């Protein structure tokens, strides 16, 4: 199995209504999110995807560096949802759910979602999502959903030391490489399906399904948010996508932006059903 992406196979047999109707491929770009934003500004239609074999300036939230060597899937989707901005921010859960379900279905691996934008295998990050949007007044002009999946990466060789304990790859979990084009198409198909649901019903049913993969719910966690560190039980993710943290004194905090580290020695079984 090669780490090269076969461009001619990226669209072959793709069964989607919207996502991936136009696919832009590059061997190397700075960030596919930036590329997709440029395409969106030029008027690229909804569903356009920008994918690159490597990124030289892959980004996480708060401009953190995202390691993106050859062998991973680094792509961004342009969406123009007729949803309110508050609803559109929850697209991050749609992408997380799509990745968690697809990896489980294709390879039988147990996946977990972690608030707000991670997918984990064995407690380690296999995927990160960066969702950004441009609004005009109360309307969403476009949203860019950037997905990074550590597919055929060698954790020891491809990651710097400080990430080797926290990051993983499908290759590591499965013990073999996977076909990147097959994984890419399955992800687009899943996202396409979920997106159709969200346009009709909003993101709430998607968030509920996402919670079915969220093993951190009910666990003791430590959250760093706005320079503050808080300990508590991650009791829920509310309807706007905020983490609901129950503190020791019984009070409840809704956290909109932050970083969760888990202290659950024993994670809840992942039963893939909605937890609320
Ligand atoms: C994320 O940010 O997890 C969002 C990552 C989104 C990447 C995609 S790739 C396609 C598109 N184009 C882009 O430029 N971005 C998107 P955050 O939650 O802030 O996590 C970032 C942190 O994850 C870093 O500070 C590292 O600690 C860690 N990290 C970096 N690269 C990683 C990797 N490949 N796998 C696992 N962890 C990584």
* pLDDT above 70 for 228: yes
CB atoms closer than 10 angstroms to residue 1: 11
Atom 9 in ligand 1: residue holding the nearest Cα: 148
With a CB cutoff of 8 Å and minimum separation 6, the contacts of 228 are none
Q: Is 69 helix (H, G, I), strand (E, B) or coil?
A: coil
pLDDT of residue 264: 72
pLDDT of residue 269: 47
Q: How far is the CA of 128 from the centre of ligand 1 (A)?
A: 5
Answer whether 124 contacts ligand 1 (Cβ < 6 A): no
> Which range has the worst mean pLDDT, 124-128, 154-158, 230-234, 263-267?
263-267
Residue 233: φ, ψ to 5°: -100, 130
Provide the token pair at 236. 């829920």
| Ligand 1 atom nearest 162 alpha carbon | 27
* Helix, strand, coil abundance in the chain, percent, nearest 5: 30, 30, 40
Q: Mean pLDDT throughout 31-36?
A: 98
Q: What confidence tier does 263 reach under pLDDT thresholds 50, 70, 90?
A: confident
State which of 7-11, 28-32, 264-268 shows the largest mean pLDDT: 28-32
pLDDT of residue 226: 86
Q: Mean pLDDT throughout 258-263?
A: 86
* pLDDT above 80 for 79: yes
Q: What is each CA distance from 117 to 35, 149, 270, in whole angstroms?
A: 21, 12, 18
Answer whether 31 contacts ligand 1 (Cβ < 6 A): yes
Q: Is 52 helix (H, G, I), strand (E, B) or coil?
A: strand
Cross-sheet strand order for the sheet of 49-55: 23-29, 49-55, 73-79, 139-149, 124-136, 118-121, 111-114
Q: Mean pLDDT throughout 184-195?
A: 98
Answer whether 167 contacts ligand 1 (Cβ < 6 A): yes
**Total-model pTM:** 0.95
Q: How far is the CA of 148 from the centre of ligand 1 (A)?
A: 7
* pLDDT above 60 for 91: yes
Answer whether 96 contacts ligand 1 (Cβ < 6 A): no
Answer whether 49 contacts ligand 1 (Cβ < 6 A): no
Q: What confidence tier does 272 reach under pLDDT thresholds 50, 70, 90?
A: very low
Answer whether 30 contacts ligand 1 (Cβ < 6 A): no
Answer whether 146 contacts ligand 1 (Cβ < 6 A): yes
Higher pLDDT among residues 263 and 216, named by residue: 216
| Ligand 1 atom nearest 62 alpha carbon | 19
Residues in the chain: 276
Answer whether 74 contacts ligand 1 (Cβ < 6 A): yes
pLDDT of residue 24: 98
């Amino acid at each position: 199995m090669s780490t090269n992406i076969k461009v001619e196979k990226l669209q072959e047999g793709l069964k989607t209504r919207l996502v991936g109707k136009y696919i832009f491929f590059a061997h190397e770009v700075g960030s596919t999110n930036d590329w997709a934003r440029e395409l969106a500004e030029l008027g690229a239609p909804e569903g356009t995807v920008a994918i690159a074999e490597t990124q030289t300036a892959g980004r996480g939230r708060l401009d953190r560096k995202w390691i993106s060597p050859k062998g991973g899937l680094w792509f961004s989707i342009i969406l123009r949802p007729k949803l309110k901005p508050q609803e559109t921010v929850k697209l991050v859960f749609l992408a997380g759910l799509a990745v968690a379900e697809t990896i489980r279905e294709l390879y039988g691996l147990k996946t977990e979602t972690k608030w707000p934008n991670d997918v984990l295998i064995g407690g380690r990050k296999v995927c990160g999502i960066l969702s950004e949007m441009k609004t005009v007044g109360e309307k969403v002009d476009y949203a860019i959903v950037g997905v990074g999946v550590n597919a055929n990466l060698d954790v020891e060789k491809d990651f710097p030391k400080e990430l080797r304990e926290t990051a993983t790859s499908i290759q590591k979990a499965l013990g073999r490489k996977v076909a990147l084009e097959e994984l890419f198409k399955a992800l687009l198909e899943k996202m396409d399906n979920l997106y159709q649901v969200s346009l009709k019903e909003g993101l709430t049913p998607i968030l509920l399904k996402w919670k079915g993969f969220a093993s951190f719910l009910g666990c003791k966690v430590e959250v760093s948010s706005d320079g503050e560190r808080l300990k508590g039980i991650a009791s829920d993710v509310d309807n706007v996508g905020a983490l609901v943290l129950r503190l020791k004194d019984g009070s409840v905090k809704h956290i909109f932006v932050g970083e969760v580290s888990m202290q659950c020695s024993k994670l809840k079984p992942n039963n893939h059903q909605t937890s609320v």
